[in-house]
Amino acid sequence: MTVYVRALETAVPPTKLIQTEARDVFAAQPGLTRLGSRLVATCFDSAAIDTRYTAVQELTLDSRSDDPKFFDPATGLLRSPSTKERNDLFAREATKLFIDAAASAVANCAGIEPLDITHLITVSCTGFFNPGPDYKIVRALGLNPAVQRYHLGFMGCYAAFPALRAAKSFCEADPEAVVLVVCAELCSLHVRTSNDPDTIMGSALFADGAAAAVVTAREAPESETLLQLDHFETVLTPVGEDSMAWNIGDEGFEMVLGNYVPHIIDDHIVGALEPLLARDSSLMGLPYRDITHWAIHPGGRSILDKVQSRLGLTDEQLVPARETLRNYGNMSSATVLFVLRHILDLPPQGRDERICSMAFGPGLTVETGLFTRIGQPLEVPADDRLADEAESSLA
């Protein structure tokens, strides 16, 4: 049975962060050592990010608040709210993003109505509350109260893949199933000033955003471009368990992102792809460049550099990942769906285009997915069509 993503939509909060302005704020914090100040400048400037979005409205220089909890623009000081204060904001603001992305996906899925949704999968690693985002979506969108609800929590940047894999399984088990997958992350809740290199790197990279997909095996209108879900695989690298982690502290969640992560990916990316490509006999023995599109989770510029170099990918093939990083930053689990959305917006290059996608997270875990972009046949110029017909008749 063939399962498709019938709609894929994204959402971001309204507050935009300019990378250079954020750098200057973090660099001006008291308590930074000379090394810490240099690391702030280096991490922010080398991140290949221009803009990011945040649900924390206080983080902009022109914000106004009588009781600032995250940032006081009058003094230029970053504050240290408790984990509870950060999570309270998550419950309020993440709900908006979950609902916005979900509503957009359902509204833009031809032939699917809210009451058609049979399963709902929500994903996040940046906060917790209950009744959770799954409940809020059901109420806001008017879904069937009996819809099956699942939440994947605290898995990290790769979590969109287990969610899509579960959606595919539901649809294969029930041909009439329609699964709504929604990822929403508020990573900026947990930024803070520090001399710690991992914390500084997180402050330079992470941002907020959401993405939602409608997954089903139901028949679709012929004119609709579809993303076919082919295969998924999971690989745990033999090293790196301590190099990427996400822990809960008294003042928010604490990220561990060791500078050795790009080297681990460089050493193990080829092996991580082998189980995925072995699932499709048409790809065995082909060079990686024969896959049309690559949807790489932009965990950071250096990670993208290592993947491109090791797999021999072209600059053009990395454009969706690099542009997502440049314009939105790293939004954890939602990010790879932004990259896929970018690919779906590109002009078609052929009838069926293979997409290889991957994301990296704590463990070190490498999640991979193989998709096919199903589009309409390209228009063939009349002269070429006549030549093809003449050649066929001679044969």
Peptide bond into 131 cis (omega under 30): yes
Q: Do residues 210 and 11 lie in contact, with contact meaning Cβ atoms separated by under 8 Å? A: yes
Start-end of H helices in the chain? 19-27, 34-45, 83-107, 133-141, 160-173, 197-205, 261-277, 301-311, 319-328, 335-344, 382-394
Report the candidate in 325, 288, 294, 284 with the shortest Cα–Cα distance to residue 310. Answer: 288
Residues 6 or more apart from 96 whose CB is under 8 A from it?
13, 55
Asked about 157 being catalytic, the answer comes back as: yes
| Total length of the chain | 395
Q: Hey, what amino acid is at 366?
A: V
Distance CA 105, CA 341 (A): 12
Selecting among 43, 125, 157, 356, the annotated active-site residue is: 157
Distance CA 288, CA 184 (A): 31
Active site residues: 157
